[in-house]
Chains A and B, each alone.
Chain A
Amino acid sequence: MSSSRTPPKWSSLLRHAFLAVFAFLTILPVLWVIKIALSGEDTFQGSELSPIPSVLSLKNFSDVVLARDAQGNWLFGRQLLNSLIVSGLTTVIGISLACTAAYSFSRFRFVGRRSLLMLFLVSQMFPGILMMVPLYVIMQKMGLLDTLVGLVVVYSITSLPFSVWMLKGYFDTIPKDLEEAAIIDGASPVRVFTSVILPLAMPAVAITALFSFMSAWNEFVLAYTFMSKETSFTLPVTIRNYVGEHTVKWGLFAASSLLVSIPVVSLFFALQRYLVSGLTAGGVKGG
């Protein structure tokens, strides 16, 4: 950092220079991906540093979007729909379960509260590989293998501990007086929750929903394990498969990555103003 004696003008110029360079470096990989995607070659082999695309071809995008399997099923459409359904439902179910649970944890003192909260926290550290085989067996027993419902159930439950802790931390910061006032005014507990607490907790709810959505949208290990048909894959599985052991289709990878990233990145930016308030007041500080 510059010393305190530097005139403000210089200091701000220095800041801008530094930030500009750093921001450029940060988004450079993304620019490269855009360039590969637009190159029109499915196995991109160019090696220039410049992030400015020399060719503008949508061939990779059309290859990705129009891909069909042997039976003539439109893969991209199916998989996009799968991803949307799974992530959407995961978010809705996960958040509604987490909100009610977190609210109870935050507002009521009951037997088992502390130990349940601890259990939720500890379960965050359960190694995924340990659970993979048993989870597979359980899904098989319940007949949920190769179904979207199965993925929704697993995703929404496994995202619960994080969501519950985030939301509980945030609910804790909302003063109790507000609810008491509402109760005196004759509001039912459910109404207090939906019309007093939830609107106040919007930043945390938004951020938690965002993370639920992102984790479901991006997950590929479980999706790959549970789904066997190409038509029931979610998009990340397909993207992962473009980067194979021997042949790597960088062009197709780049194009599909961009297509997959666009919804989640835009969602992220739409909600990013909540990031600071949602995160710092909630999960990270909560306890």
Chain B
Amino acid sequence: MKRKDASGALDRALGFFVLLPLVIVPAYFFARSEVSREVSRFDRWRAVAIGLLDLGHEVPDEHKEALDFRFTVKAGEVDEFGIAKGTVVQAFDAFGRTIKVPPDEEGKLVELAGLARAPSQKDPKCSLLDEEHIVCAKTTNESTVKGAKVRATPVRLDFFLPFVVLLLGSAFVFLYSFFIGVRERAVATAMGAICAVASVLAIRSCANRTLDFLVASESLLPSVPAPQHHLETGVGFVLFVTLVTACLVFFLASPAKSFMENIRQRPSVYAAIAPALIGMLVLVFIPFFMGVYLAFLDNEGNFIGLQNFAEILFPSGTSDTNFYFTLGVTIMWTVLNVSLHVVIGLFLALVLQSERLRGRSIYRVLLIVPWAVPNYITALIWKWIFNTQYGPANAFLALFGAGPVDWLGRSFWTNFLANLVTNTWLGFPFMMVISLGALQSIPQELYEAAKIDGASRWAQFRHVTLPLLKPALFPAIILGTIWTFNMFNVVYLVSGGAPDNKTNILITEAYRLFRVLKNYGMAAAYSLIIFAILLVYTALTNRYTKAEESVYE
């Protein structure tokens, strides 16, 4: 191989600087998430072990059904034996309802004992009083509330060492590639892998130290045996990290190098894009990948693999609005809407097209009003129009003696129609404007030639206008399809999914999972499926448009 010059080496070195975070950062976050999961499991265990001290509080009869109680105890003093005194301030049952504290209990000084633990806001049975005090309570079979007051040391995972490893590792790779030149990618690959493994191991050892500290403090409570909590670092794990890192470095080394070469040659180009790119990274791409991660979690934050997807794609069949029903509604919604937009828009454009038409611009302005009005306002206007009692839609029907229709009531079709009419009103101006623009660009001579050939108006439209409109209309239709497919505002604000979420399209159904059912994992999985559908659609249409274009060229 040819000997590299110094600047080439610099490029490679810089390339590694870019590359390294790509490798190490995911490894770091992976290890950290494991550790925090371990710590939170530890918290749960701690909460169960708490029912040790009798607070002397009888459970009121009306709350007997709730097993777990939460007590808020005002922090008192902590003596040298770790026994704290506090006053009962507030009590909640497991459902978060406030329980009346009996008058003789209120403000009563209670003795509490306990030890350091990680304050966890996740645990519903424990509450954080102030920086140093938390209290947990649990009912026993005898229905007395028992609780423990603890002096808590906030647990911070100490990640100083891993950062040192990261820094040293990257410096090492940097120096390495600068002096020697990365002729063999394999060596670089090994370097990256070692760095990643080392940092992950370091992170884990830190975590284990933290866990040890927790366990040690727990075991001060004599009757509770301290559990062993350690993160095992098996061969499989090390192999996994090594492999992933190796693959990443191997395949990214050369693009990273040329990328850096490019940056050095054209710094201004990258500088021009950088702000946009960094913004997109932080506020679009990172949230996206965090969202993707959410799709694999249950509501407690446990990793459950593909279960959310399985639940959506293989519904159990008890509910009548499953994914496939909603998908069907969405497809029908999209096809009907886009066809109506195109037909109405194109027709209006053809009528408006004539140069001699007087008042042409007035008509045009009036016809794009729906586009200009904010679409949530439009949706709400139409919700009013379809109101059963005082909406103009029924007033109009009454002119013909037709009875009032409960548009947004129990019928699927009237709800769907209301949504459809709203969105048609909203969407045709876009297609009209696009068609107008495309029509203007068709040379007049073609029509003259067609006339000379004796073509009828229809034949002119069919053989001249339509083919020449296609290149402009096609992308607009694709764009319109994506917009309509995800037209949240109209469906959400007009029918709101009534009846029984049947008129929901995929995007509003995902929102329902998110907002109403608060099932974030499922909502994320649902959204990902929507994304996949759109991606496939665009990929297919993209191919088709390219094929079309090549025919015309």
Please report A residues at the B interface, Cβ cutoff 8 Å. 1, 3-4, 12, 15-16, 18-20, 22-23, 26-27, 29-30, 32-33, 36, 44-49, 97-98, 100-101, 103-105, 108, 110-112, 116, 119-135, 137-138, 153-154, 156-158, 160-161, 164, 189, 214, 217-218, 220-221, 236, 239-240, 243, 248, 250, 253, 257, 260-261, 264-265, 268-269, 272, 275-277, 279-280, 284-285
- Using known A-B contacts A19-B352, A49-B399, A218-B375, determine if residue A130 contacts B266 with beta carbons closer than 8 Å: no
Number of interface residues of B (CB under 8 A): 102
Which of B396-449 touch A at CB < 8 Å?
396, 399, 425, 433-434, 436-438, 440-441
Knowing A4-B456, A137-B290, say if A131 contacts B377 (CB, 8 Å).
no
In this assembly, does B259 line the interface, its C-beta being within 8 Å of a C-beta of chain A? yes
Tell me if B377 and A257 are in contact (CB < 8 A). yes
- Please indicate the chain A residues that have their CB under 8 angstroms from the CB of B352 in the complex: 19
Min CB gap A274→B, angstroms: 11
Give 1 or 0 for each of B520-537: 1 = CB within 8 Å of chain A CB: 100110111011001100
Q: What chain B residues lie within 8 Å of A221 (beta carbons)? A: 488
Which of A36, A47, A108, A135 is in CB contact (< 8 Å) with B266? A108
Q: Which residues in A have their C-beta under 8 angstroms from that of B457?
A: 1, 3-4
- B357 & A12 in contact (Cβ 8 Å cutoff): yes
- Is the CB of B156 closer than 8 A to any CB of chain A? no
Nearest CB of A to B223, in Å: 39
Inter-chain contact A129/B514, CB cutoff 8 Å: yes
Q: Write out the residue numbers on chain A whose beta carbons fall within 8 Å of the beta carbon of B348.
A: 19, 22
Residues of chain B contacted by A103 (CB below 8 angstroms) = 272
Contact A49 B273 (CB under 8 A): no
The answer to whether B282 and A138 have CB atoms under 8 Å apart is: yes
Q: Which residue of the partner chain B has the closest CB to A265? A: B372
Do the beta carbons of A26 and B369 come within 8 Å of each other?
yes
| Stretch of B19-27, B140-148, B329-337, B383-391 on the interface side | B383-391
Nearest residue in A to B530 (C-beta to C-beta)? A127
Do B369 and A46 have beta carbons less than 8 Å apart? Answer: no
Q: Of A30, A101, A119, A280, which is in contact with the most chain B CB atoms at under 10 Å from its CB?
A: A280
A268 touching B456, Cβ below 8 Å: no
A19 and B359 CA atoms in complex are apart in Å by 10
A240, chain B: closest CB distance, angstroms: 7
Q: Distance (Å) between the CB of B171 and the closest chain A CB?
A: 26
Which A residues are CB-close (under 8 A) to B369? 26-27, 30, 265
Contact partner of A97 (CB less than 8 A), chosen from B276, B395, B434, B458, is: B276
Report the nearest A residue to B475, measured CB to CB.
Answer: A284
Q: Looking at the complex, which of B28-36, B106-114, B161-169, B360-368 is the stretch in contact with chain A? A: B360-368
Task: For chain B, residues 507 to 525, give those with C-beta under 8 angstroms from any C-beta of chain A.
Answer: 507, 510-511, 514, 520, 523-524
Contact with A along B333-376 (1 / 0, CB 8 A): 00000000000000010111010111100010111111111111
Q: How far is the CA of A112 from the CA of B441 in the complex (A)?
A: 34
Sample of 12 further A-B pairs with CB below 8 A, known A12-B356, A269-B372: A1-B457, A4-B457, A27-B366, A29-B378, A127-B530, A131-B288, A133-B524, A135-B287, A138-B283, A236-B374, A261-B374, A284-B479
Select A285's contact among B472, B482, B531, beta carbons within 8 Å: B472
Instruction: Please give the distance in Å from A233's CB to the nearest CB on chain B.
Output: 14
Within 8 Å by CB of B272, from A48, A100, A243, lies: A100
Closest to A48 in B: B395
Main secondary structure on chain B at its contact with chain A? helix
Q: How far does the alpha carbon of A15 sit from the alpha carbon of B538 in the complex, in Å?
A: 37
Contact A127 B273 (CB under 8 A): no
Judge whether B392 is part of the interface by a CB distance below 8 angstroms: yes
Option from A1, A125, A264 in Cβ contact (under 8 Å) with B482: A125
Contact of B283 among A44, A97, A158, A268 (CB under 8 A): A158
Are A111 and B255 in contact, with the CB atoms below 8 A? yes
Q: Nearest-CB distance from A140 to chain B (Å)?
A: 12
Bound complex: CA A264 to CA B374 (Å):
8
Does A279 contact B434, Cβ atoms closer than 8 Å?
Answer: yes
Are A123 and B285 touching (Cβ within 8 A)? yes
Q: Is B262 an interface residue (CB 8 A)?
A: yes
What is the CA–CA distance of A4 and B457 in the complex, to the nearest angstrom?
6
For B433, give its contact among A98, A100, A275 (CB under 8 Å): A275
Alpha-carbon distance A260/B377, docked complex (angstroms): 9
Contacts of B375 on A, CB cut-off 8 Å? 218
Interface presence of B286 (CB below 8 A)? yes
* B280 engages A123 (CB within 8 Å): yes
State A112–B392 Cα separation when bound (angstroms).
55
Whether B390 lies near A45 (C-beta < 8 A) is: yes
A20 to B255, CA, bound (A): 60
Contact at B437–A134, with CB atoms within 8 Å?
no
Interface string of B268-289 (1 = CB under 8 A from A): 1110110111011011111110
List chain A residues, Cβ under 8 A from B511.
129
B538/A19 in contact, CB under 8 A = no
Chain B residues within an 8 Å CB radius of A29? 378, 381-382, 385, 425
**Given that A23-B367, A268-B372 are contacting pairs, would A116 and B277 also be in contact in the complex, using a CB cutoff of 8 Å?**
yes
Q: Is B292 an interface residue (CB 8 A)?
A: yes
Query: B280 near A45 (CB under 8 angstroms)?
Result: no
Question: 9 nearest interchain CB pairs?
Answer: A134-B290, A130-B291, A280-B437, A127-B527, A134-B287, A276-B437, A130-B527, A268-B372, A47-B390
Verify B475–A285 contact, CB threshold 8 A: yes
* B294 contacts partner chain A, Cβ-Cβ < 8 Å: yes
Partner of A130, one of B434, B437, B471, B524: B524
CA distance A154 to B287 in the complex (A): 12
Residues of chain A lying within 8 A (CB to CB) of residue B7: none
Residues of B within 8 A of A22 (CB): 348, 367
Which residue of A is nearest B270, CB measured?
A110
Q: Given A29-B382, A123-B280, decide whether A276 and B440 contact each other with a Cβ distance below 8 A.
A: yes
Closest residue of B by beta carbon distance from A210: B372
Interface centre among B266, B374, B456, by most chain A C-beta atoms within 10 angstroms, is B374
B305, chain A: closest CB distance, angstroms? 18
Residue of A23, A47, A130, A275 touching B363 (CB-CB under 8 A): A23
* A125 in contact with B535 (CB, 8 Å): yes
Q: Residues of B contacting A160 with CB < 8 Å?
A: 276, 279-280
Contact among A36, A110, A121, A265 with B269 in the assembled complex (CB-CB below 8 Å): A110
Cβ of A268: which chain B residues have Cβ within 8 Å of it? 368, 371-372
Contacts of B530 in A (CB 8 A): 127
Given known pairs A15-B357, A111-B259, A130-B292, the reply for A257 and B381 (CB within 8 Å) is yes
> Nearest chain-A residue to B385 (Cβ)?
A29
In the assembled complex, the Cα of A243 lies from the Cα of B538 at a distance in Å of 36
* Contact A153/B283 with A1-B350, A112-B259, A160-B276 known, Cβ cut-off 8 Å: yes
Q: Which of B283, B356, B440, B479 contacts A154 (CB 8 A)?
A: B283
- Residue B90 is within 8 A (CB to CB) of chain A in the complex: no
Chain B residue at smallest Cβ distance from A272: B368
B514 near A132: Cβ-Cβ < 8 Å: yes
In the assembled complex, the CB of B432 is this many whole angstroms from the nearest CB of chain A, namely 10
Chain A residue, CB-CB nearest to B268: A189
Find out whether the CB atom of A49 lies under 8 angstroms from the CB atom of B395.
Answer: yes
B380 touches A (CB below 8 Å): yes
Nearest Cβ distance between residue B97 and chain A, in whole angstroms? Answer: 23
- Please report the C-alpha to C-alpha distance between residue A102 and residue B356 in the assembled complex, in whole angstroms: 39
